[in-house]
Amino acid sequence: MFTNNWFEITAKSNFEKYVSSIPTKVVGINNNFLEIGCYEGQASVWMMENTEADLLVIDTFKGSQEHDPQFEETLLARFTDNVKQYGNRVDTLQGTSRERLKELEENVFDFIYVDGSHQASDVLEDAILAFPLLKEDGIMIFDDYTWGAGMNPHNIPATGINAFLDVYRNKIEILEINSQVIIRKLFKV
């Protein structure tokens, strides 16, 4: 059960355009997707229903600073319930992305969805730590690019995303910018 329809509004059309186009299997092996920040699992469920990929999710399951603390108490249970029907196709690493991304092998993921913290420094750190994990020609989508307009630049994702785009410009192709930013990795780093 989902408490709102944010995915339908801000992400679904980009997922249909870019994630659906990722080949479903290579030599009989499912593709690997990584989701940083899953909230209630709307994006996770979409990926399970529309691809044959295996998904690794990293989240603290504590919510963000804009969430009611009582709501956060049920976040892990709600996510788990929403993805349980997909069994071993969804694996969850509970903890901070700062810690968990460092544990993962490079050049493994065909798709990475960055939708964790809204703090600019956290978004930038997630992007830098996740980028080596993405395969050559892999797709990365940053969520919440237009979130928090008018707020302190240090407290919005766009500042961190723009910093990443500036520094990694020669290693990526920007596919589209709207409420999300979609990039393709050009070569291994």
Neighbours of 60 (CB within 10 A): 18
Closest among 112, 3, 116 to 64, alpha carbons compared: 116
Confidence of residue 24 (pLDDT cuts 50, 70, 90): low
What percent of the chain clears pLDDT 90, i.e. is strictly above it? 80
Concatenated DSSP letters of 61-85: SS--TTS-HHHHTTHHHHHHHHHGG
d(CA 177, CA 34): 20
Q: What tokens were used for 58? A: 């990293």
Q: What is the mean pLDDT of residues 119-145?
A: 97
Q: What is the pTM of this model?
A: 0.93
pLDDT of residue 74: 81
pLDDT at 85 over 50: yes
Q: What is the mean pLDDT of residues 3-29?
A: 85
pLDDT of residue 38: 94
Q: What is the mean pLDDT of residues 52-80?
A: 78
pLDDT at 72 over 70: no
Confidence of residue 151 (pLDDT cuts 50, 70, 90): very high
CATH of 6-18+31-185, one of 3.90.79.10, 3.40.50.150, 3.20.10.10, 3.40.1160.10: 3.40.50.150
Q: What is the mean pLDDT of residues 77-98?
A: 95
Confidence of residue 67 (pLDDT cuts 50, 70, 90): very low
Neighbours of 99 (CB within 10 A): 12
Closest among 55, 47, 37, 64 to 12, alpha carbons compared: 47
d(CA 154, CA 75): 26
